[in-house]
Structure 1
Amino acid sequence: RGQKEMEMPSPHDAPIPGFAVCSKNGKYIFVGDAKGLVSVVDAEATRLVRSFDVPNATMVKRLELCRNGKHLLAVTNAQTLYGFDVDDAATEASEVLRPAHEYASPWASRLQWGAAAYPWNGEFVYGVSSGAPHEIHVWDRASGELKCVLEGPAEAKGVTQLAAHPIRDCAIALGSNGYMYVWSRKHVEDWSAFDPSFVTLVDNNEYVEAEDEFDAKPPGEKQTRRGQIPVERLDPDDAPDLFTGSPNDFYTDNSDDDVLHALPIRIKPDPAAEKFAAERRAKWDRKAKRREERKRAEEEASKKVKEIENKDVAEKTMETKAG
């Protein structure tokens, strides 16, 4: 326990601000700086191990480490997200970090990526842009192939931050308007998980009951309905104990299963946040209005130029005929 200050090794001559995350075992520190480099630092020896130049990037804005600690994502000012494979158990420190894939989207806007995240199992990559519409781009992590683009409400005015649930197929997108939007996978209900004898019917089936199926039975006579499982008496000594609590290891170092007991669907901001969101919306509206006016002026100018050109062509044609 305690506090320790140390100078972080850097490949540059002068200190440069950046973003850092630790490997899952804590042996290494991954640093992304404002020069577009991702470096590996030995945490115990405080020495620089290796540096990588992210293609087409001059600044690393964020680093996202997968929950299993095997993948690292660099969010830069480039048009793509850059992924690394992590092996913090490698015998050679220089082999801890290896370039993997670049994640690009032909449907993405020209703006920079603002945030990215891995889901709980690390099979996909999520990417969003704060200045673009409410869109979440989803890639296959292993191949780099774009799988789909999820479109959300336009009122979000873009997504500023993205967070994935640690153990479920769920993600939260923070919109520029101050609201949180929850994305989740659609699950198909499987009732046979509760009762193995349950059969899902595609079409209606006509059921013909037996003549004595619902007749009253004498006491002690063990008869069951067709298709039912006989009911057996349970010995009280063998009954499960539902009232005595057992200790759990949630949120402790003994368990690697992070558990969230509640997940808010939508959080309404406070008045200060409402005011900030209103100012942002007004700013966006002004920008949109200026873009529309500029576009309208360009169209009118282009129309006038075409009219003048057509008039000149007509005059030259008349002169040619007159000559």
Structure 2
Amino acid sequence: MNVPIIDPLQGDFPEIIEDFLQHGNMKCIAFNCHGTLLAAGCSDGSCIIWDFETRGISRRLRDSATISPITSVCWSKHGHRLLVSATDKSLTLWDVKKCEKIARITLQHTALHACLDPGPVEPTVCLACPLSSAPLLVDMSDGSSRVLPVSVSQEGNNYIVAPIPRKFSDGSTPFTPTAATFDRSGELICVGNSKGEILIVGVKTSKVYGIIPVPGGAVIKDIVFCRTGQYVLTNSNDRVIRLFENLLPHNNVINELEIVDSFNNNTNNNVEEYDIVEKLKTTGTKCIKYLREFQDVVTKIQWKTPCFSGDGEWILGASASKGEHKLYIWERLGHLVKILEGPKEAIIDVVWHPERPIVVSVSVTGTAYVWAKDYVENWSAFAPDFKELEENEEYIEREDEFDLNPREDEKEKEEVVDEDAEVDIENIEETSIITISNGSHEELRYLPAVPSPDLSEQQDKYPASPSRLEESNNSASPFDNDVVTNGHASSPMEVAENSLAEEDGGTSSKRKRKPSAKGMEMQAEKDKRPATKNQKSSSVSKTSKPRTKYDIDSDQDDEFTDGFVF
């Protein structure tokens, strides 16, 4: 049933697996704002920075104190910093260009997801979502943290904010990770709870400004904003992805919420016992509007890490089923356009390229698959006015088509080109997508690559087979300390063979048999005793008559086998 409902040529979305990236066991990935660099967290505690244009490794960030698997990676707005969370309850902030660690702190719980504040250029404040507790607002500069509210309850005319989930009768906390994320401005945080609600919380005040009830009332697992901040996606435990529209402005969001809050208070000031929670829900519906939902009606599968395309026109949902690598792509209006099927490996993370129709998905084996659009080359249009026909058409000749002097009113007017005008080749005209991402010349788009030795030079230095050399180059990395330089990892057998080849002058790698002690004694006695009469006659006879090819070959065999014991 992998048949698109609408014409697939109308949209730019991936269709086939173009390439795959493999280095260690990758667990999570993230693009920078322009998609030129791809960060991947591995199971050994390291973070790999891929140059996505060349598909090569530009950096390897490794902290000796972190040896646990990475749970999430997040870029700063301009790409100079990278936040990494691991299963050892640590948060590490890196300077990507200098490859230096800025700060590292340890939380009380393992953070499943962590993201940096999108407001400042060099952020130090981050949002951490622990495994079984409320979200934390952490300042990496001094290590301070603040717990965010996850629920609101009514008691009389006042409301109580609960910073931690409710406990069971035995006193234990439920295993329900809370989803939270910054908005585009960085002034608000959207927190999803287990009651199917989204709380709008202020970053500086931790005040709850509104509540958005999600249809279904199921546990919210993911909250994702598009790059423009206009639309929001939620992934709930009821196997449904829901789309919301953000009605708040991009700037001065807190002032807008204060105006809406005061308007609600003035409207309901005559009510003595007005429900505060209902007032917060009214404010929330004026901030975020529910649009539609996306789901697989037939299979009712769970979804993993939904995301938007770079322009926000397409919505991607990854199947969370085991042994299944499926990507569902919907149009924002609700139409299913494509189902991508990959290898029989479960998906653990997926991201969409910010500016191109490319999707990168990570499987449980640690391999990242690059999905791209299947472009079909068409070389039929040789002339600018050439028109390709799908079928035969009757051609109607114009009256003056073959006249030498056609009418002046039907001649195409040539464009006037000012050849003396100056052409600006230094400044880059920003596109709409770059403008959305607040692009500037201070952004980190590329990193200098580490040069690797040429293959021909390695073959001249090491007399090994090309296939073996290619395998060693593919497995070796310039960032591994335990790898021999020049990309050649020699085994004891290879070292012995190479040493023998060097003793022979490098001309042959065959080994010569060493004569035994008895054979050497027989050879010495033979050299000492004089030649017999038969030997002299045979030597005379050999010199007297012409030698044949058979005689020469037999003499060589005698010389080779003489003195050896078989």
Judge same fold: TM > 0.5, yes or no.
yes
How far apart, CA to CA, are the structure 2 residues paired with 1:191 and 1:261?
A: 34
User: Does residue 1:139 correspond to 2:299, yes or no?
Assistant: no
The alpha-carbon deviation at position 37 of structure 1 amounts to 2.4
The alpha-carbon deviation at position 137 of structure 1 amounts to 1.5
Q: 1:65 aligns with which of 225, 231, 237?
A: 225
User: Does residue 1:27 correspond to 2:214, yes or no?
Assistant: no
Deviations 1:78-127 (A, max 9, x none): 121122111231733732222221112224x3442122110011112111
The alpha-carbon deviation at position 164 of structure 1 amounts to 0.7
How far apart, CA to CA, are the structure 2 residues paired with 1:269 and 1:117?
A: 33
The alpha-carbon distance between structure 1 residues 241 and 85, as it changes in their structure 2 partners (threshold 3 A), is: closer
How far apart, CA to CA, are the structure 2 residues paired with 1:185 and 1:261?
A: 24
Q: 2:365 aligns with which of 177, 187, 208?
A: 177
Alignment of 1:211-222 (within 5 A): none
Contact 2:245 2:289 survives alignment (8 Å):
yes
Q: 1:255 aligns with which of 430, 439, 462?
A: 439
Contact 2:314 2:331 survives alignment (8 Å):
yes
The alpha-carbon distance between structure 1 residues 154 and 189, as it changes in their structure 2 partners (threshold 3 A), is: closer
How far apart, CA to CA, are the structure 2 residues paired with 1:148 and 1:62?
A: 23
Alignment of 1:98-113 (within 5 A): 98-107=289-298, 109-113=299-303
Q: 1:166 aligns with which of 351, 354, 363?
A: 354
TM-score (norm 1): 0.57
The alpha-carbon distance between structure 1 residues 144 and 260, as it changes in their structure 2 partners (threshold 3 A), is: farther
2:386 aligns with: 199
1:223 aligns with: none
User: Does residue 1:81 correspond to 2:226, yes or no?
Assistant: no
The alpha-carbon deviation at position 239 of structure 1 amounts to 9.0
Contact 2:151 2:193 survives alignment (8 Å):
no
User: Does residue 1:10 correspond to 2:142, yes or no?
Assistant: no
1:123 aligns with: 313
1:314 aligns with: none
Q: What amino acid is aligned across from residue 106 of structure 1 in structure 2?
A: V
Q: What amino acid is aligned across from residue 45 of structure 1 in structure 2?
A: T
Q: What amino acid is aligned across from residue 355 of structure 2 in structure 1?
A: I
2:340 aligns with: 151
Q: What amino acid is aligned across from residue 153 of structure 1 in structure 2?
A: G
The alpha-carbon deviation at position 192 of structure 1 amounts to 11
Alignment of 1:239-278 (within 5 A): 255=439
Q: 1:43 aligns with which of 203, 217, 229?
A: 203
The alpha-carbon distance between structure 1 residues 119 and 15, as it changes in their structure 2 partners (threshold 3 A), is: same
The alpha-carbon deviation at position 19 of structure 1 amounts to 2.0
How far apart, CA to CA, are the structure 2 residues paired with 1:185 and 1:35?
A: 39
The alpha-carbon deviation at position 20 of structure 1 amounts to 1.4
The alpha-carbon deviation at position 8 of structure 1 amounts to 1.4
How far apart, CA to CA, are the structure 2 residues paired with 1:48 and 1:136?
A: 35
Deviations 1:283-305 (A, max 9, x none): xxxxxxxxxxxxxxxxxxxxxxx
TM-score (norm 2): 0.35
How far apart, CA to CA, are the structure 1 residues paired with 2:205 and 2:357?
A: 38
Which segments of 5 or more consecutive residues in structure 2 lack a partner in the other structure?
1-123, 125-140, 153-161, 166-176, 262-282, 391-418, 448-473, 477-566
Q: What amino acid is aligned across from residue 164 of structure 1 in structure 2?
A: W
How far apart, CA to CA, are the structure 2 residues paired with 1:136 and 1:122?
A: 17
Q: Mark the structure with the bigger radius of gyration.
A: 2
Alignment of 1:290-301 (within 5 A): none
Contact 1:164 1:170 survives alignment (8 Å):
yes
How far apart, CA to CA, are the structure 1 residues paired with 2:147 and 2:217?
A: 25
The alpha-carbon deviation at position 140 of structure 1 amounts to 2.3
2:29 aligns with: none
Deviations 1:175-224 (A, max 9, x none): 2332222222334557799x983736559xxxxxxxxxxxxxxxxxxxxx
**Which secondary structure state, in structure 2, belongs to the residue aligned with residue 114 of structure 1?**
strand
Which segments of 5 or more consecutive residues in structure 1 lack a partner in the other structure?
204-234, 263-267, 271-323
The alpha-carbon distance between structure 1 residues 190 and 67, as it changes in their structure 2 partners (threshold 3 A), is: farther
Runs of 4+ with >6 A deviation: 190-193, 237-242, 245-251, 256-262
The alpha-carbon deviation at position 256 of structure 1 amounts to 7.0
How far apart, CA to CA, are the structure 2 residues paired with 1:259 and 1:47?
A: 35
Q: What amino acid is aligned across from residue 140 of structure 1 in structure 2?
A: E
